[in-house]
Amino acid sequence: MNELFGIPTGALALAVAAAMAAGLGVVGVLALRNPIFVKLGLRNIPRRRGRSALIVAGLMLGTVIISAALATGDTMSKTIRSAVVTSLGETDELVSVRGVDVESVAIGEATRVAYFDEAAYRKVREAGLRSPNVDAVAPAIIETVAVQDVTTRQNEPRVTLFASDPAALRAFSPMRSGGGEVSLADLRPGELFLNEDAAEELGARPGHRVRVLAGAKPVSFRVRAVVEFRGAGTSEAAVFTDLVAAQRLLGVPGKVEHVLVSNRGDELSGAKLSDAVVEELRPVVAPLGLEIKPEKQQGLEIADVEGASIMSMFTTFGSFSIAAGILLIFLIFVMLAAERRSELGIARAIGTRRGHLVQLFLFEGVAYDLAAAIVGAALGVAVAYGMVFAIAGALTAFGVEILFAVTLQSVVLAYAIGVLLTLGVVGISAWRVSRLNIATAVRDLPEPPRRRRRGWIVAALGLAVSVLLVASGVSSAEWLPFGLGVSLALVSLASLARRLGVPDRLAFTAAGLAIVVFWLLPADAFAFLADFASGFSVFLAGGLLLVVGATWVIIYNAPLLLKALAWALSPAKSLAPVLRLAIAYPLRSLFRTGVTLAMFTLVVFTLVVGVTTAGSFNKAWADVELFGGGFDVRATAAPASPLGDVEAAVGRVPGIAAGDVRVAASQAVVPLEAKQAGAGRGFESYPVTGLDDAFLERTSYGFAAIADGYGSAPEVWRAVREGDGLAVVDPNVAPRRDNWAMNVPPDFQLSGFYLEDGRFEPVPIVVRDRRTGRDLRLTVIGVLADTIPAEMWGISTSQRTLERALGPQVAPTVYWLDLADGADAAALATKLESTFLANGLEAQAMQETLDDYVAYSRTFMLIIEAFMGLGLLVGVTALGVIAARSVVERRQQIGVLRALGFRRRMIQAAFLLESSFIALTAIVVGTALGLGIAYNVIADSAEQPSWSHLTLAVPWLSLAVIFLVVYAVALVATLAPAVRASRVYPAEALRYQ
């Protein structure tokens, strides 16, 4: 990726690396000043190698998640960049007829691009070659045609025909075949080249005869060679002829479609000169009715934005795991301190300052940190590779080839962030450790309750800040400050209550419960204060606070819970002594029990919310009626050869009975520019589609929001059909109060209402055809539902409206068929493709398209869930660290127990029961909280017209698998230390000091 959070990755990596260097520099200076503490810190590392390895494993998890997210972003960016570079080669700018937007054809097949005279090309070439920034200019025709191999009888309805002037093209990317360079000039009349994709899809070899269908009459060619060429306007199948042959084939003698401009430099560096070249050539091309666009620069920018979007999706979903990882780092260092409490106490007694203790831990922490971040960054790349492998499999159905990539910047960035994150947490935990009570630490006695002289001030300050946060949240209608303010107020009140003599247990139980209840309230519970906006940051903060609140309640009431557990298990008399032990230890170390419980609960909570909401949305979305809008088959024709009257055309298809097709509708797609009238923003490229009457009459696509004056979806569609200048838009352009979307929004955006309101005043927009400079005024009266397929994205109006404004360029190229009940949509699609091969027709049953999307969506969600599940590793490590520490701490006590007659299995059972307490509590609490939040999300979404049919679907089977994994993981993590504990030889343990 070239950009992350809008900052160039190079600069960001440099800044973060500089911050890391500064942090490490400070640590280095301290180390030079106090080498004795370096010695003290570092010599601890090899003392217990197994535990040191566990610490490194624990510290690296945050880095793994960041590194994996960055590498996945790099991969997506590289994949799109590679497609851009393969498709454009040396071409940096494209000169075309004004108003032609090549990039927006992804939504549907755009209407055919206009041609212009070669004389105009010559003027552009002349001007271009005068510029010191341009090294080549060539004319081109890039058109979609259908191709049939006569020998193999294989057809390919969509192949890019690329044609140019061989002499002018020579300065572009070389065309190679069989190890040597070839040229379009080598082609004899009636010959063409194929690229490898086309040869593979057609089964074609040199010497084969192929038919090119680009209109009514097929033209036969002989395949001269299979070539490699970057810059054919596609990264997929292509055929190559010289310009004259293509002009003859397409019936456009003396015309060209584009002028390709190559800037000085190679395929990537040339794009940096695009701004200058566009500036230089604009005055030349404008009078010719042409315009110049920096295609490569734009393509590369989009690649980076998409890559960053994927990266941000993974970091967002990985946030809970990162939070759990931070808790783990904290726990590890607090436990390290507990182990060395007596040493630290004596160090303080003989004059070591608190700052020195912080340094001591920092030195040790930095050593672990540097190693952990290296392992983490490398492991993250491996995790990303696994995810990319899975994504690549899921995208095969869409013909997308994923190219795995990791940039040095990303690795540096992940490493530096990992180091800084750990350094910060180690610093904070070291500061906490340094505040030990010397007298008790020396004798390794429990820390006495701390007197907080400034407790009143802190609590009062907390209340003041919370009031400000709440006020800010209400005035800006933002849930995050409001929610944080209320939570802080509850904590501050609990703190004040303690000062007033309320027992800790009561104060924190009440505060914890209040926080849990507050964050579990329905989204509209405080609608009387403001129409709050929320998003992923709210989900993240809410999740963390819910877990904190619940953990408080459990930890402050743990004695009661454990007594209840003991009572429940009391019939099993053999368990009694083991149970007593398993209960006593977690109660003695409530802090570490609480932190571990919070970590596990966080992981379970995240997984439950993710699995449940994704499952519910997927179930609601996977409805072919919603997805197809009442149609069963969608087909697209090559822009050069549309079907014309689709109803008549379908009627001519052999094997299709008259009653099979109930409705045959068509749609034109025109890449135009649009803006909201009077909103103060400029025109942005956006596709406009023209829907014919048949479509508008039949469609059942629903709406997320409907303009005032219209009562229902059919009413909106009827108005678009019958009225003039009315339109509907896809939901991506509508403003939302809640920002849950992960995809990159289009530049064209509406304003003045929120989608969630379901109602809005009709929005006037202006659509401009830059080719003619003509404006079309439309009024948006509906925003389509979130459940529509990507094929319906754009501004949709009636074909009549579009034709009246733009003329004949809006020939429909997309066709929608509603079939009679019982008709086989897949078979009919196949018949259509073979009949209309000459038109380059591609058809697919909506059910199949939906199945592909659903399969992809499920795979993607599984990957996201697996990514979130990385947090489980945090839990495993935490339990491992705690259990390992417990064995060391309790060695003497274990010796006593063994001497008293405890069998080995009883010792093991006590350890496993302890972990079970944490894991099972986390499962129960995490599931309850997760289902609570999932219910709120679903209930809130179901209030939107888009999702009115949405219901909470709890995937119990998936949850059961998660529970089993979590529990098994907890037991596995404890097993090794438990076995080690049980093998303690009593006499040796009793001597242990």
Partner 1 sequence: MAVHVESPVVARVAPVTAEPIVEAREVVKTYDTGQVEVHALRGVSFSVARGDMVAIMGPSGCGKTTLLNCLSGLDAIDAGEILIEGVPLSAMSDRERTDYRARRMGFVFQFYNLMPVLTAVENVELPLLVARVRSGEARRRALAALEMVGLADWAGHLPDELSGGQRQRATIARALVNDPAIVWADEPTGDLDSENAGEIVELMRRLNVERGLTFLIVTHDIGVGRATDRIVRMVDGRIVEDNRMEVPRVLARHAV
Q: Which is nearer to partner 1, 449 or 659 (CB)?
A: 449
Nearest to 755 by CA among 779, 729, 783, 781: 783
Which of 35, 190, 207, 254 touches partner 1 (CB under 8 A)? 35
Residue from the set 343, 848, 865, 889 that interacts with partner 1 by CB under 8 A: 343
How many other C-beta atoms are found inside a 10 Å radius of the C-beta of residue 461?
A: 12
Contact pick of 48, 272, 354, 736 for partner 1 (by CB under 8 A): 354
C-alpha–C-alpha distance, residues 562 and 564, integer Å: 5
Q: Is 351 in the site for partner 1 (CB under 8 A)?
A: yes
What is d(CA 729, CA 384) in angstroms, rounded to the nearest whole number? 36
Count of residues of this chain found to bind partner 1 when the rule CB under 8 A is applied: 30
Between 153 and 451, CB nearer to partner 1: 451
**What DSSP line would sit under 839-852, residue for residue?**
GT-EEEEHHHHHHH
Near partner 1 by CB under 8 A: residue from 73, 99, 139, 345: 345
Of residues 46 and 901, the one with the C-beta less far from partner 1 = 46
Least separation in angstroms between residue 503's CB and partner 1 is 9
> Could you tell me whether strands 93-97 and 191-195 are parallel, antiparallel, or unpaired per DSSP bridges?
unpaired
Does 501 sit near partner 1 (CB under 8 A)?
no
DSSP 701-766: --EEEEETT--SHHHHHHHHHHSSSEEEE-GGGS--SSB---SPPPS----SS-GGGSEE--EEEE
Tokens for 13, please give them: 């990596």
Residues 162 to 191 in contact with partner 1, rule: CB under 8 A: none
Closest contact distance (angstroms) between CB of 49 and partner 1 is 14
Rounded to 10 deg, the angle between the 590-621 and 576-588 helix axes is 90
CA gap 913, 592 in Å, rounded: 16
Which residues are CB-neighbours of 920 under 8 A, at least 6 positions away?
967
What is the C-alpha separation between 558 and 572, in angstroms, rounded?
21
> Among 153, 443, 454, 573, which residue sits at the site for partner 1 (rule: CB under 8 A)?
443
Which of 130, 248, 353, 905 is the binder for partner 1 (CB under 8 A)?
353
- Scan residues 504-533 and list those touching partner 1 (CB under 8 A): 504
Distance in Å, CB of 354 to partner 1, minimum: 7
Per CB under 8 A, does 34 bind partner 1? yes
**Considering the rule CB under 8 A, would residue 337 count as an interface residue with partner 1?**
no
CB of 36 to partner 1, least distance (A): 4
Q: How far is CA 540 from CA 109, 519, 524, 545, 864, in A?
A: 40, 11, 18, 9, 15
Segment near partner 1 (CB under 8 A); pick from 36-44, 170-178, 477-485, 731-739: 36-44
Find the binder of partner 1 among 105, 281, 335, 347 (CB under 8 A).
347
The H or E element spanning position 624 is helix 624-628
- Name the token pair of 188: 């004899």
Per rule CB under 8 A, is residue 36 in the interface with partner 1?
Answer: yes
Find the part of the chain contacting partner 1 (CB under 8 A) among 30-38, 76-84, 304-312, 594-602.
Answer: 30-38
Stretch of 433-441, 645-653, 678-686, 963-971 contacting partner 1, by CB under 8 A: 433-441
State which residue, 591 or 956, has the beta carbon closest to partner 1: 591
Using an 8 Å Cβ cutoff, are 593 and 545 in contact? no
Minimum CB separation from partner 1 for residue 442, in Å?
6
Contact 344, 440 (CB under 8 A): no
Q: Rounded to 5 degrees, what are φ and ψ at 216?
A: -70, -40
Phi, psi of 230 (to 5 degrees): -105, 120
**Is position 458 an interface residue for partner 1 (rule: CB under 8 A)?**
no
**What letter represents residue 491's amino acid?**
V
Instruction: Please report whether residue 449 would count as binding partner 1 according to CB under 8 A.
Output: yes
348 contacts partner 1 (rule: CB under 8 A): yes
What distance in Å separates the CA atoms of residue 531 and residue 824, rounded to the nearest whole number? Answer: 48
User: Does residue 29 touch partner 1 according to CB under 8 A?
Assistant: no
Least distance in Å: CB of 355 to partner 1? 9
Can you tell me which of 253, 448, 501, 711 binds partner 1, judged by CB under 8 A?
A: 448
CB of 490 to partner 1, least distance (A): 23
Closest to partner 1 by CB, 34 or 241: 34
Tokens 């540097």, residue located: 370
Tell me which residues in 42-101 interact with partner 1 (CB under 8 A). 43-44, 47
Residue 718 binds partner 1 (CB under 8 A): no
Cα 906 from Cα 894, distance rounded (Å): 11
Binding site for partner 1 (CB under 8 A): 34-36, 39-40, 43-44, 47, 342-343, 345-354, 356, 437-439, 442-443, 448-449, 504, 993
